[in-house]
Structure 1
Amino acid sequence: MPGSFSSAVEGKFLNGGLFEMTVHYTDPGATALEMEERFEKLRTNLTTEYGTFRPNQQQKTVDDGFVTMTQSFHKEPIRGVLLLIAWTEVEDRLRKDRKARFSLIYRNDNFRDELRKRVGEN
């Protein structure tokens, strides 16, 4: 998407209808701190527009010198419509390197249910 830091977009379709879209943000040239600043800016903008996002999940794993931290926040501005923002950071303790990425997910379960019903009518 021109003018943004997004690196990939993926969509989920059911019977020709788009009911979920994910925008991934990665930047090999950015530090983990820069990515965290971008994540917080996006989260702040979303909070301003849709209201407070609630913590959804947080995990930390350590395996063979790699520390992986994930956290996500969600908001259901309308029943059946979900916005979720997810953060992942991987730290390589041996090489003293950190990389981070995040994703924004929009899912409309109401529309997905409507698409499923349409199939049942045919």
Structure 2
Amino acid sequence: MPKFVLLAWISLLAPLAAQAVLAPPFGLSWGDSPEKLIEFAGRHELDVRITIPGDQPDLREFRVQSRKNPLPSSTARALDARFHSGRLFEVTLHYGKPGESADRIEGQFNEMKRQLTVKHGDFIPNQQARKTEDNFSTRTLSFHHEPVKGLFLNMVFTEMEDLLRKTREASFSLIYRNDNLLQQLEAAAAERK
């Protein structure tokens, strides 16, 4: 009978554990190969730029975006995906475009933060800074949520104001990052060397 009780508890707790997992957007999964992202871009006729940092040969960075429109079923203008040893460990969505009102973009940031807080839980402030130099003022806000140790959802808002011309631009990014997977991939790569 104790085994039955243990199995019953595990079956009840399994869905709760699954809710804590933070999956990347657009149907991607942690550990995916770049092919899934390339297929997504091809299906939606999006541009893809691939960068291989010279000092980090195991790393691949993909930028996916449309020349004119936001990403499909999204208001994000671009997606950056980072792969280590051919496996996805980070996705960044970029919002806001040049010429768009800084107040409107900040409103979108605050609304997205509110929606994500309802969906995932509270965000913890990381940084709130303002810096003025050479008649430019930069304001940065960042927050993070860590539903499971090593799995992060970060939000970063940046506003730049030209004090001479009295203009403001803003953008923000939403970053999904799996440090647990990255550490495993780095350890496996180190063993191969």
- What TM-score comes out, normalization by structure 1 length? 0.92
Gaps of 5+ in 2: 1-70
TM-superposed CA distance for 1:120, in Å, is 4.9
- What TM-score comes out, normalization by structure 2 length? 0.60
TM-superposed CA distance for 1:117, in Å, is 3.7
Of residues 130, 136, 140, the one that matches 1:66 is 136
Quote the residue 1:24 is aligned against: 94
Gaps of 5+ in 1: none
TM-superposed CA distance for 1:65, in Å, is 1.3
- TM-superposition CA deviations, 1:58-99 (whole Å, max 9, x none): 111111211100010001011110110000001111111111
Of residues 25, 35, 40, the one that matches 2:105 is 35
- TM-superposition CA deviations, 1:9-63 (whole Å, max 9, x none): 1111111100011111122242011001110111011101111101001111111
- Counting helix residues as a fraction of each chain, which structure ranks higher? 2
Q: Distance in 2 between matches of 1:90 and 1:37?
A: 16
Q: Distance in 2 between matches of 1:51 and 1:26?
A: 24
Identical-pair percentage? 45
Letter in 1 for 2:115: N
- Counting strand residues as a fraction of each chain, which structure ranks higher? 1
Query: Matched residue of 2:104: which SS?
Result: helix
Quote the residue 1:92 is aligned against: 162
Letter in 1 for 2:94: H
Query: Matched residue of 2:77: which SS?
Result: strand
Quote the residue 2:125 is aligned against: 55
Which contiguous aligned blocks of 4+ residues in structure 1 show a shift greater than 4 angstroms? none
Quote the residue 2:172 is aligned against: 102
Of residues 76, 81, 85, the one that matches 1:6 is 76
Query: Matched residue of 1:6: which SS?
Result: coil
Letter in 2 for 1:69: R
Greater CA drift, 112-121 or 100-109: 112-121
CA RMSD of aligned residues (A): 1.4
Structure scoring higher RCO (CA < 8 A, sep ≥ 6) equals 1
Give the number of aligned pairs.
122
Q: Distance in 1 between matches of 2:182 and 2:134?
A: 41
TM-superposed CA distance for 1:102, in Å, is 0.3
